[in-house]
Structure 1
Amino acid sequence: MRKAIERTSSLLAVAVAACACPVLAQELPLNDTGPAISDGEIVVTAQRRQERSVDVPISITTLGGEQLATANVDELSDIARVSPGVRFDFSSGFFQPTIRGVGTSNVTSGGGSNVGIYIDGFYSPNPLAADFDLLSVESIQVLKGPQGTLFGRNTTGGAILVQTADPDEETAIEMRGSYGRFDELKAQAYATFALAEGVAIDIQGLYKSGDGWQRDITSGKRVGAYQNTSVRAGLLLTPADGLSVLLRYQHNDVDDPTPLLPASWFDRDFGPGQPSFAAPGQFTYDQNRIATGSVQEFFRSKSDIYQGTIRADLGFANLTSYTQYRQEDVNTSVDLDYSGVDLLQMGIPVKNRTVSQELLLTSKPGPRLQWTAGLFYFSNKDRYITTIDAAGNTPEARLRLGGSSTTTKSYAAFLDMTYELSPKFFVTAGARYARDKVVDAYWNARFSAVETPVPNISDDRVTPRLVLRYKPDQNMSLYASYTKGYKAAIIDVGGSCQNAPFICNDVRPETIDAFEVGAKYSGAGLSAELAGFYYDYKNLQVSLYRAGTAEVVNAAQSEIYGLDGQVQYRVTDRLDLQLGAAWTHARYKEFANAPIYTPCVTQSAAVQATCLASGISFIIVGQDLSNVPMQRTPEFTGNIGARYTVDLAGGELNLSGNLYHSSEVFFGPSGTQFRQGNYQTLALRAAWTDPADRFTVALWGENVTDSRFRVGAQYTNYGIGANWNKPATYGVEIRARL
């Protein structure tokens, strides 16, 4: 039966292999920062200026606010279900996105992600705070492929652009509340109005809580209770035509241990993943249960974000200034043996401070030469403290283990131009110059707060872009592009610096050369695009483990190629269909000394004795690999979505659903271990809106078929953890608009 289901899933994959995710024509307000709909056309800002999506030579997944609601998207990571080729993984609370196989599993000070996340034009660099609840979101754009010219450092895999609503002088109030399985409660409110002519404000708040869906086999109690709150306010001043100032403040408070609650790993290839000294009753492989000892796991985050956006019409061009300060503090306690044995519980308090400033100048629509120019400054300081935690997790119960800190600075200037050679031929050329520095870095000696400084590093980088585009008519575009991206260099203060002989590895920047050809069409109720790509990916920054120590090195060389695309078709005024797929062939060409997790009990008596003396259950054996799958990269992902509208009781009933499929994926860093087979999830929603469009009542279900699969693996010398997806959830939502 299982093989039959897998064969059916494969046939479904082939059937939609020419498409990727939905793009519905939503009625979004047109502004100078986010995507919108103008006369039925999808308008995006992938090139930092407003353009029709069909005219932009980049593979883009665009999700409007209504799409996000009908797909039950609450958090940023949920968009993976409607964005084939995109994954979101967690490692002890660290948020790690992957696009077309380009991502990172590194967890270290100054490490960062390979995918840039921008909210209202502001860069959000902290992987401990990158996943978040979506507040008044109008749209999300997923830009696939390196974006090194227009968005810069650490956009090797692409960029995710989130656009929220601006304050408006026209009064509007919206409230939402939902309740679902596992006592999940969500309440959200948004209001915007004018204080005076040319002065508008908005304020919004969100509260989420739940009891969790797992149980501890020791106590029998449910674990994973969470409580998240967010408050956001904005003040928009328009003192003159062509001039606006938007000031924003946001506070987030997250208390959610869910990513830190894995069961022990077990599969037919690897075998058991629990510590060798764990007795029955101290570990479980059950997908709904965990085993904990006397020490509590937790993840708590507090952030305060201050932002200022100035937009000015200079006559010859539009100027936008983005000024930001972010203060994010995280406190977490992680069980590193993933069992009920009190072996090693590590605390990781992190303090992160970010300052950024960007000036963006864009041309006016109309001339044959369209251009974007900018200056960018970025400074991010993070400080990691590591502790060994005892029961209670209080400061007094924590033993200082070590820590590290880095301050990352980046200065950049860029110019991107598109010239209309003729009504049908266009050429785009651009380049970004960046200087990245890591300064004031240090690591803490073991069991002390003594700071050992390390020398500064710097690097100059130029990332060019060249595109040729042919436009047969207003509804179609064909393009071929070359782009370059990079992930900045790292000082390995969290790893090699702290281990004998106490010499920091020279972790050079990752680089990627990307070639892409694509076709886009939009017209007569049909929107479609298809892209083929080839990546030459070098100097991957990967984590290796030797004798119980961790370090980051440049090791793997990779080759990635594939196809992805998207189709949305308005069959009738009442029925919309969306199809999407991504085929990604991602392989490590050369992976020197790749980490292979090996149980100590399979080794010689001498090695077993060393393991016992060290308290570890697994050793990491380095092995040279070639032509093996890349970590966290399924070969095929796809989705099918539908939305049907029917009149009911004077109002309107919307029925929608989304089926998502993923082929097998390997979570191990070598790409050969910790396999999860293919799986599917199905989301359904039925929403009725009254004739006055004031109230909506919806029934929703997520993973309604109760498909169970592992969404991640966490691995150490002490144990291997398996993170399972949430069981089927369902509930009711009420929405009111005034």
Structure 2
Amino acid sequence: MAKLSGMTALARVGLAAGASMIAMSLATPAFAQASDDENTSEAGREIVVTAQFREQKLQDTPLSITAVDAGLLESRNQTDLSQVARQAPNVTLNAMGGAYGSSLGASIRGVGQFDFNPAYEPGVGMYVDDVYYATLTGGIFDLLDLERVEVLRGPQGTLTGRNAIGGAIKLFSKKPSDENSGSIQGTYGERQRVELRASANFVLADGLYARMSGVYKRQNGYVKQVDYGCANPGNPDGITGFPGSGSDCVMADLGEVNYAGLRGALRFNPSDAIDFTVTADYTREDRNNAAEVVTQTNGLNRVICGRFCTYASFYLPAGGQVGQGYFMPNTTKFDGWGISANGTIKLSDTINIQSITAYRDYRQIWGTDDDFGPIASKGAGGYNDLKFWFFSQELRFNAQLGDNVDLTVGGFMSDQRSLYYTRQDIRYIAPGLNFQFAGNDPVNADSKAGFGTIIARPMEGLTLTAGVRYTDEHKDYTFVRKNYNGTVSTFLGALDGVKATYDGSRWDWRVSADYRFSPQILAYVTVGTGFKGGGVTARPFDAAQALNGSFGPETVTAYEAGIKTDLFDRRLRMNISGFINDYKAVQLPLISCASLGSNAPCGARQNAGDGKIKGFEVEVTASPVEGFDIDASLSHLAGNWSKIDPRVGNAILLTDPIVTPGWKWSIGAQYKADLGTYGSITPRFDAAYTGKTSAGRIAAGGVIDFFPAYTLANARLTWRNPDEDLSIALEVQNVFNKYYTPARFAAVYAFSGTIYSQVGRPREWAITVKKQF
């Protein structure tokens, strides 16, 4: 009954807002809806999305979607996926730090995942051209040659190729088309930033087209890795400098960029009945680790170097299984490639079949310094080598049944394999016991699903949608725990050869109703479910934790009401949504593993919490006068736990916030000034606010730490020639040079006494020249 009353409240809010907008629309009859070709303002420009398996205008889709086209991405200086979250309501995307390699943590409406380990499932579905990306690793996509980005908020249990509990982020690249065209772009900026982008479209024959695009990015880092012994001779810890540190004692610049990507596509489109595209891509990243610094210590403050420097050594001393000291790499290397085939065959005017086949493969190698300090005797570091491949096949059957019913049924399957080699030196856990091991763990995961969606229009203005999906999943993780010389590990030998498994299945559903009160106003209500797949405990300390530590899916039932409007001759677009998420069986880490039959240090997760998340979102686009465009968003999240398993201990309390940040907002404005024969000039300014965000506790029962709220601002000034095929832009990011730390690593604080945090990019400038032909 609580769920129904919550839905009723949201429905009342949505209908009240709808009635208000209707009244305003009726009171201003002069502001009729303009056709697409009569209005070219930002507010009136249509973006077509495919969130419900078919092309629909954004304003006709009864879902909370932030859709950004290529032009707006460029005007905001956004070149990688993590930047899109600044303007998307209730969305958090964060490039993870050195401990997690090149991976992207993501959450939408407070539901997501930030741990890269293949034992765990992402909470936000990531797609490129409808191809699902199954891991967080490799998710920091460059926005190369894109047509648009769609951010779908709320569970996508019946809509996407593979389920996503928090939402989905979909990138759509530009398809090869029937024209010969291209562009080339170059950027130079702060810290020797060099960026090159190019794309070209070719007509090979009638109905056969090709497109190539590439990107190269290089920039020096902004956090100095300083040799502690070199910079502090005669220090009380007796640490001496390393050979080769140089006169400035700097060993490396962290936060470096060194990225290259290439994509090629071949499209066969001889008629309206056949459209078949094969795409291949390759990505390489070879850089120093993320920009991170020690931000807190347990009394040993002299290991804090400063706001933009660190004494992290990545050095581990002799002891245990090693006869002499050695370095872990302070670099991240990623090589990934993929190929996909997306084809649609139109069997008649009302029936088509779509097939999406894809294969992806990557390898990532990175090192960690877990205490991020110079005192090497603590022994805290790791070497990681993750290999991965993924195959998926999706088939959709789309039919139009008469004039008022659309149907989609389909199936999805995927098969993925990971091999995670790691060499861990974690002597800090038990000083003197030389706790060291090598793992080489194979992880297998399979998923199969069938789904269907029906859209009916029983009367003019009213649309009813219903969807269902059945998913069956399997995952197994085999633990290999050896000494460095290949013998069974002294301390973790009981784990060697143990296989942990998870098997589960689930039905998801969604129903929605939307009503178009007028050409300017659409209101909708929807209820749907979603889940994040179950898995196995990734980092057990004994066999009992592995064998008994598998966990089931966490689930959401989401209730949402919203309104979408285009007002004042389509010069004002305002979309509002409110939601309540009933969040169940949340996967949480345990303090004690006694219930799993283990008295060792606990590294397990279980389904251990329930709660509710509530919030609202507002997105506005306005063009009050010709050439002047404004876009803005506001979002709020709140919620509370209703149940916490006692095994979680006091690491999470019922009084803790279930989601943060509470508030986010953004605003951007630009004005295009026509200079006649001299072209045009467009200044733009963007600001985005993120409220204080929970950083968790550094000790069970302690006070929750929060990352402070911060506002980031960017500015851009663009000149275009009269033909608008040449542009020169000057940009400044983080205009006010805000210092902020969006994430931290505190897992070893109890042993090492140090916490290190990511540091956001400081103010930097760049100039970009782009030529289209």
- 5 Å-filtered alignment, 1:109-508, equals 109-151=118-160, 153-218=162-227, 219-220=249-250, 222-224=252-254, 225-259=256-290, 261-266=291-296, 272=297, 280=302, 282-284=303-305, 286-293=306-313, 294=315, 295=327, 296-315=329-348, 316-342=350-376, 343-364=379-400, 367-388=403-424, 400-439=437-476, 441-447=477-483, 448=486, 452-454=497-499, 456-492=501-537, 494-496=538-540, 498=542, 502-508=546-552
Q: 1:526 corresponds to which residue?
A: 572
Distance in 1 of aligned mates of 2:619 and 2:397: 31
Measured after TM superposition, the shift of residue 550 of structure 1 is: 2.4
* Structure 2: segments with no counterpart, 5+ residues: 1-17, 19-33, 228-248, 316-326, 427-434, 489-495, 593-599
Aligned pair 1:650/2:678, yes or no?
Answer: yes
Measured after TM superposition, the shift of residue 158 of structure 1 is: 0.3
- Equivalent residue pairs, number: 662
Deviations 1:401-453 (A, max 9, x none): 224332111111111111112112221111001111124x3111243587514
Q: CA contact under 8 A between 2:47 and 2:69: conserved in structure 1?
A: no
Q: 2:67 corresponds to which residue?
A: 62
Q: CA contact under 8 A between 2:43 and 2:573: conserved in structure 1?
A: no
Q: CA contact under 8 A between 1:377 and 1:410: conserved in structure 2?
A: yes
Distance in 2 of aligned mates of 1:128 and 1:463: 27
Distance in 1 of aligned mates of 2:543 and 2:115: 17
Measured after TM superposition, the shift of residue 375 of structure 1 is: 0.9
Distance in 2 of aligned mates of 1:545 and 1:495: 14
Measured after TM superposition, the shift of residue 736 of structure 1 is: 0.6
Aligned pair 1:638/2:665, yes or no?
Answer: yes
Q: CA contact under 8 A between 1:175 and 1:188: conserved in structure 2?
A: yes
Residue of 689, 710, 717 corresponding to 2:741:
710
Amino acid at match of 1:554: N
- 5 Å-filtered alignment, 1:543-692, equals 543-544=589-590, 549-592=602-645, 622-623=650-651, 625-630=653-658, 633-648=660-675, 650-668=678-696, 673-692=704-723
Q: 2:596 corresponds to which residue?
A: none
TM-score by length of 1: 0.85
Q: 1:512 corresponds to which residue?
A: 556
Amino acid at match of 1:297: N
Distance in 1 of aligned mates of 2:722 and 2:646: 65
Amino acid at match of 1:409: D
Q: 2:319 corresponds to which residue?
A: none
SS across alignment from 1:69 = helix
SS across alignment from 2:548 = coil
Q: CA RMSD in A?
A: 2.7
Measured after TM superposition, the shift of residue 347 of structure 1 is: 1.2
Q: CA contact under 8 A between 1:233 and 1:249: conserved in structure 2?
A: yes
Q: CA contact under 8 A between 2:405 and 2:455: conserved in structure 1?
A: yes
Distance in 1 of aligned mates of 2:187 and 2:115: 36
In structure 2, do the counterparts of structure 1 residues 653 and 79 end up closer, same or farther at CA, with 3 Å as the change threshold?
Answer: same
SS across alignment from 2:563 = strand
Distance in 1 of aligned mates of 2:772 and 2:389: 37
SS across alignment from 1:103 = strand
Q: CA contact under 8 A between 1:126 and 1:352: conserved in structure 2?
A: no
Measured after TM superposition, the shift of residue 681 of structure 1 is: 0.4
In structure 2, do the counterparts of structure 1 residues 26 and 166 end up closer, same or farther at CA, with 3 Å as the change threshold?
Answer: farther
**Which structure: larger Rg?**
2
Distance in 2 of aligned mates of 1:733 and 1:161: 27
Q: CA contact under 8 A between 1:593 and 1:624: conserved in structure 2?
A: no
Distance in 2 of aligned mates of 1:56 and 1:372: 16
Distance in 1 of aligned mates of 2:454 and 2:170: 21
Q: 1:106 corresponds to which residue?
A: 115
Q: CA contact under 8 A between 1:110 and 1:382: conserved in structure 2?
A: no
Distance in 1 of aligned mates of 2:469 and 2:498: 31
Measured after TM superposition, the shift of residue 723 of structure 1 is: 0.9
Q: CA contact under 8 A between 1:527 and 1:569: conserved in structure 2?
A: yes
Aligned pair 1:734/2:761, yes or no?
Answer: no
Measured after TM superposition, the shift of residue 622 of structure 1 is: 4.3
Deviations 1:5-39 (A, max 9, x none): xxxxxxxxxxxxx9xxxxxx9999xxxxxxxx999
SS across alignment from 1:349 = strand
Q: 1:394 corresponds to which residue?
A: none
Measured after TM superposition, the shift of residue 557 of structure 1 is: 1.8
Deviations 1:168-221 (A, max 9, x none): 231111001101111111101101111222221111111111110111232235
Q: CA contact under 8 A between 2:500 and 2:547: conserved in structure 1?
A: no
Measured after TM superposition, the shift of residue 365 of structure 1 is: 9.8
In structure 2, do the counterparts of structure 1 residues 502 and 530 end up closer, same or farther at CA, with 3 Å as the change threshold?
Answer: closer
SS across alignment from 2:191 = helix
Aligned pair 1:723/2:769, yes or no?
Answer: no
In structure 2, do the counterparts of structure 1 residues 39 and 534 end up closer, same or farther at CA, with 3 Å as the change threshold?
Answer: closer
Q: CA contact under 8 A between 2:500 and 2:550: conserved in structure 1?
A: no
Moved over 6 A (4+): 25-28
In structure 2, do the counterparts of structure 1 residues 123 and 152 end up closer, same or farther at CA, with 3 Å as the change threshold?
Answer: closer
Amino acid at match of 1:444: V
Amino acid at match of 2:141: F
SS across alignment from 2:375 = coil
Distance in 1 of aligned mates of 2:210 and 2:651: 58
Residue of 729, 738, 754 corresponding to 1:698:
729
